[in-house]
Every structure is written in structure tokens, then in C-alpha cells.
Structure 1
Amino acid sequence: MPLDDDHRTIDGDVYIFPRYLARSTAAGVPALAPLLDLGWDLEHDDLGNAYVNAPDRRVRLGYLPEGEDDGLWRINAYKAHHELFNAPAWGVCFNNDTPTEFVRAFTTELAAAYKQGPDAYLATPTPADKDHDPFLAVTSLIDRGWEFDQPEPGVFAIRSPDRLAALEFTAGPLDPEAELTSRTARWHLWAGNSIDRPAWYATASTDTPVALLTAVTQCVSDPAPLPRWQEETFSYAKGAQLTPILPPQPPVPTPLDVQRAAASRRPAALPAPSVPRWSTTSRPALPGPRR
């Protein structure tokens, strides 16, 4: 499906800070674009849900505005063709209020991993492997001032400085089916004033590749605000700051611009009068009439 460039970008009239309180744009195209640009197949059901399938049918994304719950985005990867009804190797869910930019960060990294092959998009997190160490997913959070916490036994969390966002990691064995269908997953990222009623949340199962998780945590912790249309957005969690986006100002002229402008206003110089020049090779003047 060709996508117009106007639908790939996200704009607005206010900036939201911190960005993890921005909520969704209610537009799916910007997050679908990285996969559709690779030639992934796009299908729709009768309800208006969209499904994007990798050419090898081993990765499937569902965009489910008419789904059974608030899991708007569900992405699963399989070690074999997914239509053979094999269990997913990993699954990720973003609910319907998750900022679209975070989903796009995930799909952009997924597209890059898919181009590398199954060893990349099916890479299992391994603490002993420096390239796939799960700790890499939280490095960007730590570098940006997020702090460790332990809300309950067996659960480790890292929270934003304002305590309005957190990434939780659950240790120990988990039910594989519950990881794919509920918030009881290995990774649980959320924002808002309460984990029970978050502004938005995202989950990732045990074997989700670390590179895909890292792309999301880097985007979530980015200090830059996000643009939104104030009149078209959902209410924001307490603590969000809205700043009007001012129209671009004309550039300040440089000294060279001033000189050129002044030169363009000067009157054109008059041509110098012509003066006859004589030389030894000039012909003598003709004699005038005698008196």
C-alpha cells in the first residue's frame, strides 16, 4: 500500500513534555510505514483491523482498533511459518494509548533486524552475550537519570526521575500464554500516576530480542518533547507540560545579506562620456570651408 508522506509524519500545535506522557496520535500509518516499505503484505478483516505479514510469514503485526481488548498493537515472531499454528517465539503488545512514536521506534528496529535475517529478529536475550544482554535495554534509561526500584519480590523496576514512568522486569518462570495475552509479561513498560490505571502500557515476552526493546527505551527516555494537536488528543496524565509550538521565525540576516540588500538599492552608475583619442596613426582632419 503506497503511503503519502503527509501521513508518515506526526505534527501538532503543542509540545508535550516529558514525552512519555504524550499518549497516542490515533494514527497507525507512521508506525506501519517501516514494515510496508520493506514490501510486507497488508491485509484487513471485516471489522477494520489491519494485519501486516513478513514475506516469510514468520513475523506478523496486528493493528487492532476493533480488537477484543485495549491491545491496539500486537507483534509476534515465529521460528516457522506462523500459519502453521506454531506458538510465537516472542510477542510484544502496545495498548491503544501508547505514543505512536514508541511503536514506530519498535517497527523501525524490527525492519532493520528483519533485513539481517532470523538470527537478528529471533535473537534470544542472553546475559552471557554482550550483544544480547538484557541489561542493554535499560542502559539508556540509566544514562538519562532513571533509578532502580523493587516494588515487590521478584520484580525489578527502573523509574523516571519524576516517577511517572517505569520499566519493570519480572524474574522467575512465567506462563508463556499469559505473557502474550495479558500484562503479566517479562517486560512491562508503563507511564502515568498509577500502574493500575496507567496512561499507557506496553509488554514484551521473555525472548523478545534486546535490540527491539532497546529501541523503545531509547525513544521513551529521549528528552525531546513530542508534538500533538491539543484539541484532538486524549487527556494527559498529571504532570505533563504543554508548550505551544510557535510558527517559524524568519532567519536573522547575515552581514553578507545586508551588503547585498544595500547594493541592490543603489542607483545604477551613469556611463562615462566618451572622449576622442588621437594618435600618430589618426587621419588628419579635413580642412574646413575658407572665409
Structure 2
Amino acid sequence: MPAHTLEGDVYVAPLYLAGSTAIGDPALRPLLDNGFVAHSDELANVYVSSPDQRIRLGFLPESPDNPLWKVAAHRDPFGAPDWLATFDSNTPTELVTAFSSALAASYAEELDTVLTGSRHQAEEGFRPLEDAGWKRGSWQLTTLFTAPDGLAGLTYRGGVLDRQAELRGDQDRWLLWGGEDGFSSRWYASFTSAVPIPLIAATTARLADNAPALRYEVDIPERNRSAARIRPVPHPVPTPLEVRRAAAALSRSHGGRLASRALAASATTSSPSAALPACPEHHRRAATARS
């Protein structure tokens, strides 16, 4: 699959205020580059699956459900998912790409780890946020992290959860969120209990990263704009070679037009076949009177 480069006219930071690009290619590419196969339906939803049909990703812009992205792992290709990750339609695409990139790498290295999860502590998923200075809190069995500006966070719910309730979305082991409160500005991503912690850590690492995101300014959620740092993309400075080429092209263009004008002027004044000027009316009348 050819590389897809995001486009835009501004840089936005932090990422969690940038909104989605609504483009699936960047997050699909890591899987397709590792042998996953893509199919689409008549509505333009895209389904990507591993060669053994145990890992599946759906990019679902036309789904009646809210999640734009669903990623599931199945030890039994015909059974219920062992784990499920979802990202809604407002989630920054870069977070989905971070997750799918880590998933592709883990699948290539050790399939069993992807299916059953490895023995990693939840702290590994927290660490990128803690290292970035996010505020940590707790309430009963729940661990909370909040961004310094209060506009993004993570909730980790401890204790025993009902697996089926998790898969239905009624309970969340991991919940990420960001953006001002509002239908088009706030986003959510969730991970069930068995999602491998390294995949979650890759996602929280990108969430905590201060690197700006590329967006078209009109696509940034309106409610997030006042809190975001937005700067225009600078126009590229031409190289000396590009300057010389442009000057040469301009010279050829102007020279050609001047030459054409000179030839046209010569044809109308010196050509033997050129028509003589018409005799003014009063001169014709004077000549008639003399005759």
C-alpha cells in the first residue's frame, strides 16, 4: 500500500485537541504492510484481517454505531473476541495509528502475545502520562490521569469486570478521552481487559507526546480551538536551483511574447500585402468637388 502523508495548513498541539482527520489510510497501512488483507463493503466501510483471521480491524465511517474504529482479537476465528479496542469518530487519527503500528509489530514478532496479552502491569500503560507530568489520582479501585490543562484524561477501572459487559461497551477497563465537552469536540477510546498493555502504552505515549499534528484549520473542532496552540504551516523556501529554473522559465516566457509582438508589428507595417489606410471621408468629398 502506498504511503499516505497527512495534509493540512496548520499545526495543532496538543494532539488531543486536534480532532480526527477522518482518513483511514495512515492507521491501516501498518497492518497492510505486514500481510493483512483489506476488504470493503458497498458503503465504503473497510475491514482488515490477519492472514489467520484472528486479528481484525474495522474502519467504519458508515456504521450506525459511534465507534469509527474497532480492533478485535480472536483465539478462535469463529468465536467471540478475546479483546476489543474502539476509537470513536472524533479520536485523533494519530492515536489509532500508534495502536495499529504496535499491533502490527507485535503480530509479526509473537502472535500468542497479541491474542492473550503478556504479563505486563497496568503501570506500563500509565507511565507515558506520568512521565509527561499528567496529574494522577485515584478513587476506590479506579486510577485517573488528567492532562495539565484538564482537557484529556485516562480512567483505569480495577477489580473484576464482566467480560461480556466489556465487549458490549457497558463497562470500560481502560477509557481515554480528550477535547472540550461537546458532541463534535470530545472523543473517547476504550480497551477491554485483555488488550495487551504494550499496545495501550504505545497509544498513551502518542497521547502524551507534545509533537503537533497537521490539520486543515477548518477541520479542528470549533470548541477546541481557543485552548489549542495553532500555527500556520510555513511555505517552503525554494532552493537555489528552483530559483534559477523559475527565472529561466520566466525569461523564456517573456521573451517569446515580446518576439511575437515584434513580428506582428512588422507584418502590419512593412509587408507588401498589407492594406493601405482608408481615405478619410472629408478628403473624398473635397476630391469630388474639384472634379
Pairwise CA distance, 1:55:
0.3
1:104-183 map, 5 Å: 104-124=97-117, 126=119, 132-150=120-138, 152-182=139-169
Pairwise CA distance, 1:251:
7.8
Please tell me the residue identity of whatever aligns with 2:30: P
1:31 corresponds to 2:27: yes
Over 3 Å counting, the alpha-carbon distance change for 1:197 and 1:37 in structure 2 is: closer
Over 3 Å counting, the alpha-carbon distance change for 1:233 and 1:21 in structure 2 is: closer
Pairwise CA distance, 1:123:
4.2
1:42-53 map, 5 Å: 42-53=38-49
Q: What is the CA deviation profile of residues 145-172 of structure 1, one whole-angstrom value per residue up to 9, with x for unaligned ones?
A: 011123x543221111111110100112
Over 3 Å counting, the alpha-carbon distance change for 1:183 and 1:203 in structure 2 is: farther
Q: Note if contact 1:92-1:205 (Cα within 8 Å) is conserved in structure 2.
A: yes
1:1-291 map, 5 Å: 3-5=1-3, 8-81=4-77, 84=78, 86-124=79-117, 126=119, 132-150=120-138, 152-182=139-169, 184-194=171-181, 199-237=186-224, 238-249=226-237
Distance 1:50 1:122 in 2: 22
Please tell me the residue identity of whatever aligns with 1:87: A
Distance 1:124 1:115 in 2: 15
Please tell me the residue identity of whatever aligns with 1:216: T
Pairwise CA distance, 1:80:
2.1
Q: What is the CA deviation profile of residues 249-282 of structure 1, one whole-angstrom value per residue up to 9, with x for unaligned ones?
A: 4689xxxxxxxxxxxxxxxxxxxxxxxxxxxxxx
Q: Note if contact 1:31-1:103 (Cα within 8 Å) is conserved in structure 2.
A: yes
Distance 1:232 1:4 in 2: 24
Pairwise CA distance, 1:187:
0.1
Secondary structure in 2 matching 1:16: strand
Pairwise CA distance, 1:63:
0.8
Secondary structure in 2 matching 1:91: strand
Pairwise CA distance, 1:56:
0.7
Over 3 Å counting, the alpha-carbon distance change for 1:249 and 1:119 in structure 2 is: same
Query: After the TM superposition, which of the residue ranges 50-59 and 233-242 deviates more from structure 2?
Result: 233-242
Please tell me the residue identity of whatever aligns with 2:76: A
Distance 1:185 1:176 in 2: 10
Over 3 Å counting, the alpha-carbon distance change for 1:154 and 1:196 in structure 2 is: farther
Secondary structure in 1 matching 2:67: coil
Pairwise CA distance, 1:192:
2.1
Residues matched between the structures, number: 239
Pairwise CA distance, 1:184:
2.5
TM-score (norm 2): 0.76
Q: Note if contact 1:168-1:187 (Cα within 8 Å) is conserved in structure 2.
A: yes
Bigger helix fraction: 2
Q: Note if contact 1:97-1:199 (Cα within 8 Å) is conserved in structure 2.
A: yes
Please tell me the residue identity of whatever aligns with 2:165: A
Pairwise CA distance, 1:34:
0.5
Distance 1:229 1:101 in 2: 15
Query: After the TM superposition, which of the residue ranges 224-233 and 57-66 deviates more from structure 2?
Result: 224-233
Q: Note if contact 2:155-2:175 (Cα within 8 Å) is conserved in structure 1.
A: yes
Distance 1:67 1:179 in 2: 20
Over 3 Å counting, the alpha-carbon distance change for 1:221 and 1:183 in structure 2 is: farther
Please tell me the residue identity of whatever aligns with 1:181: R
Distance 1:62 1:77 in 2: 12
Please, which runs of 5 or more residues in structure 2 have no aligned partner? 241-291
Pairwise CA distance, 1:240:
1.4
Secondary structure in 2 matching 1:141: helix
Pairwise CA distance, 1:245:
1.3
Please tell me the residue identity of whatever aligns with 2:228: A
